[in-house]
Structure formats: structure tokens, C-alpha cells
Copies of this chain bind each other. A is one copy, B any other.
């Protein structure tokens, strides 16, 4: 299947995120239509409801076909991994150049240009956990606040994470309202309430849980990958000034919960298989993970070699017709903890994961300059602003700024497998009446 081409020409170009080998799932809506399930192929979305009605999914199990008629991916996610894999294989057969001509005609009738539909939140996410799995991010941030001890003593043992807010998860393209909140200037005795002046993005990748686990039963590292359905981009928008004032002792709360953006397409673990690589070697002197977080398989292929990019476009840049500016470029393989380790740690206390739960990586940053996944790190907490092509300076985000996250895997001999984009544009804070 990795050498196949598609009769959808836009799926065969080197720059597409969505070749025949990707087939990410999502939920879309035509103008005034109902939400329906689709998969992305080149510049098109294939309508799975229409495919099913046209008899193109015959031979697949009843529950997979029924799941394809649903307005969210949850039922599909709740099917077994072999269920999703069988659907993906079937769709690849329909879309490959060697497809049966009758099938091809019916399949063509179920294609819609992605540009013509609205992409919706793909999953009803019951629980959202945000981790802190990049040691470079943790070190960069720690250095700003605790120069003498950037990394806390637990970091190399505990995959640190916290529960995020699910109600304010929104799909890419949703406007981001600048939040109000309490902040306290270091030279003031009293806090004040008003719009954040330190609005930031966080470049993250999130994994959707496929099969869950019963309350009280841990998922061992050996089996953790079987519980992953697929991944997407996540932008964990953050108000740094609110965060600084509120986070002791129970962690970030309103500085994060105003909104979190997710990309519309969920790329399956199957599609990422060729890009699995070894975990980064732990530096000499670092402890080995405790045994429940350690396995040879995880060490050898626990990571994903995926390029991640952040771009910014300001209102002035758009007016001037400038292209978005690349702010940074990192790689998902740099994480200190793999998604499998995050699953195992999360359930190590018996906590139950449910199908469709989202586990985000935390900000993905690398060790070098230009690989940091947040403005907090890039501008050293706002003290070293970035200069945009328009001549504007940015310490943190301004109203009108748009942030675009991208992620893709690229490797000689394989088509590019991408996550698509996750976009969000800042709009002004609501007016305060008193």
C-alpha cells in the first residue's frame, strides 16, 4: 500500500499532507447540511456516509459501517483497531489508480473539495489531559522562573501532566477571544482584572485514545500503543500573566481554559508506522525510567519523527499581502516521554481512559534556538521581542495575529504524511462593564 498512487491527482503531489497512505478521519458539513464523517484525500474530502449508501463499504463489519454514519468519530474510535484498519484499507482500495471502474465512479460522486466544506470538531472529547513531555520546554520555561534550578527533581521520573478543560476545546479556524483575568505586576501590591497582555500559543500534538481501560486497571507499557487511535495538532493557548499569578499551588487553570484549538483531521497510528523512531538517548547521568515506564520496544520505536512548524501572520502582514512568517520549527521525536509512556503513567493509578479522550504532549520544543514551541521561550518571557516582516515587534500575541501550526512526516521513499493545519486568530477581549 505504501507504493500505491491515487486517481485523485492532488493526492499524489509531494506537498500534500493527504496522500492515499494517510486517509485521516474528520467531520465536515456542507453549507446548511448535517455533520458527516469524511476522510481527506489530496484536496478533497470523501463523504463516508455517501460511500456507505452507495454500497462501497460492503464487506466491512456492521459496527464500522454504522460508525461511518455518525456525526463524530467516537463510535469509530470505539470500534476495535482492526475495525479502523479495515476501513482504511477499504478506502485505499477505492481510491487507488487500480480501483474497479464502477467503484471509482461511485467514489468520485462522494468527493467534495475540502475548500467547499466546513471542518468541525472531529471527536466529542470526554477527558483532556495535557502533559509536559518536552524536557527542552520544561528546561526553557524553568530557566526563566528558577535560573538556579530550571528542572524540578521529579521531571526525569514522572511524566508531569494536568487535567485540561474539555468544554473550551474548539476546532481550527475558531477565533480566539483574548481572555480577561487576574494579573499582578511585580511592582504592585494588588492584582488587577482585565485583558491578558501576555497571550501565547503552545505548539503541541495530541493523541486520541482508542480502546479504553476499566477503572482500577493499569495499561502496561507493552500494550499502551494498542490504546492509541491517532494524532492531531493542538494549540494550548496560554495567558502567561494570568498563569504566573494563579498557578500556585494547584497548577494552571484559567490561564489555559479559555480555549484550546485542535486540528480537524485525525491521522491514524497506522499511517505513522514508517516514521516511528527510537526515543532520544537520555543524557549521561539521567536516571532510567522506573520499570513500569521502561521497555525495549518503547525505547526503539516509541518516538515519531514528525516536523512541527509555527507560523504567524499579523493583520498588517495580511494587509500588505505578506506570507505568514515561520516562527519556529521543531520535531516531535524530541519528547522525553512517548505517548505510550503517557498512557501507562496516566493509568498507573487505575484511572480509566475512555475512547476519544485526548492526551496532549505539552509544548514541543527542541534544544536549539529556533525550535521552541512558544513565545514565552522564544522571547525570553517577552524581554527579547521578535521582529516581523512588517517591522512590528512581538513579545506576545496582539489582536489580529493568526497562529498556524503544521506537522508532517517526511522520509525518502515514502509519501509525506501530514496532520494538516491548526489555525486561530486573536480577537479583542470582551468589554468590561464595570
Contacts and interface: CB of A to CB of B under 8 A. Distances in A.
Indicate the size class of the contact surface on chain A: 35 or more
A292 interface: yes
Interface in A254-281: 254-255, 257-259
A143 to B, nearest CB: 13
A432 B434 CA distance: 57
Given A246-B158, A250-B132, A250-B160, A349 B257 contact: yes
A180 B258 contact: no
A126 interface: yes
Contact of A351 (B161, B167, B191, B291): B167
A383 to B, nearest CB: 21
Interface string A124-138: 001100001000000
Contacts of A217: 430
Interface string A242-256: 100111111111110
Given A217-B430, A246-B154, A180 B251 contact: no
Interface in A329-357: 345-346, 348-354, 357
Contact of A158 (B160, B182, B348): B182
Interface string A379-404: 00000000000000000000000000
Contacts of A113: none
A47 B181 CA distance: 45
Interface string A179-213: 11110100000111100000000000000000000
A350 B154 contact: no
14 contacts: A152-B249, A154-B184, A154-B246, A154-B248, A157-B184, A158-B182, A158-B191, A162-B162, A162-B163, A162-B251, A167-B354, A191-B290, A216-B430, A292-B432
B250 A152 contact: no
Contacts of A161: 250, 253
Contacts of A85: none
A433 to B, nearest CB: 8
A135 to B, nearest CB: 14
A235 to B, nearest CB: 15
B254 A193 contact: no
B349 A179 contact: yes
Contacts of A193: 290-292, 348
Contacts of A216: 177, 258, 430
A239 interface: yes
A192 B350 CA distance: 17
B350 A165 contact: no
A218 interface: yes
Given A162-B253, A216-B177, A353 B248 contact: no
